[in-house]
């Protein structure tokens, strides 16, 4: 157990988890993500079809990545909707990375409606081999 500085984002995430457990089925906030760990690189993939890249905002604080942005409704004036199922509007997602990452080496790409963020672990978070003399 380690002491950490107060992190408001983590507090929000905790509240969200508490709400989720109270109201039954865990609610996945938009966008759904997949987080993987391989070769000391954390990769976050988010399902974000049809989003304007310039409206995406990524920030990292400690071991939490925040993906926020806005998805415009396709509606134009003078049209009649028959079905409206696709989500739109403002979104904000906190993703727990489980590790601290190197802020200077983060990169992101967006293709086929999937945002991929590559976050190499911070030196302090990498496993270290200790030789026994």
Partner 1 sequence: MAEEKQTNEVKKIVPPVDIYETDNDIILLADMPGVTKENLQVDVNNDELTISGMFLEDEDNNANKLIKEYIYGQYSRIFTLSDVIAQDKISAKLDNGVLTVTLPKQEKVKPKKIEIEAG
- Sites of contact with partner 1 (CB under 8 A): 28, 32-38, 42-43, 47-51, 74-75, 78-87, 95-98, 110-114
Phi-psi region of 18 (alpha: psi -120 to 50; beta: other; left: phi over 0): alpha
Q: How far is the CB of 87 from partner 1 (least distance, A)?
A: 7
Residue among 39 and 133 whose Cβ is closer to partner 1: 39
> What minimum distance in Å lies between the beta carbon of 132 and partner 1?
27
Q: How far is the CB of 125 from partner 1 (least distance, A)?
A: 13
Q: Tell me whether residue 3 or residue 79 sits nearer to partner 1 (CB atom).
A: 79
Closest to partner 1 by CB, 88 vs 102, is 88
Rounded distance between C-alpha atoms, residue 1 and residue 117, angstroms: 28
Alpha-carbon dihedral sign for residues 31, 60, 16, 97: positive
**DSSP conformation letters of 90-113:** EEEEEEE-SS-B-GGG-EEEEETT
């Amino acid at each position: 157990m380690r002491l950490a500085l107060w992190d408001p984002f983590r507090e929000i995430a905790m509240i969200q988890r508490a709400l989720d457990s109270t109201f039954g089925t865990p609610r996945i906030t938009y966008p759904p993500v997949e987080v993987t760990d391989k070769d000391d690189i954390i990769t976050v993939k988010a399902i974000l079809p049809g989003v304007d890249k310039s409206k995406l905002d990524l920030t990292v604080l400690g071991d939490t990545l925040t993906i926020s942005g806005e998805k415009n409704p396709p509606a134009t004036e003078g049209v009649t909707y028959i079905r409206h199922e696709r989500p739109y509007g403002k979104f904000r997602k906190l993703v727990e990375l489980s590790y601290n990452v190197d802020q200077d080496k983060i990169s992101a790409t967006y293709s086929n409606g999937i945002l991929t963020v590559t976050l190499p672990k911070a030196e302090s978070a990498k496993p270290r081999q200790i030789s026994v003399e």
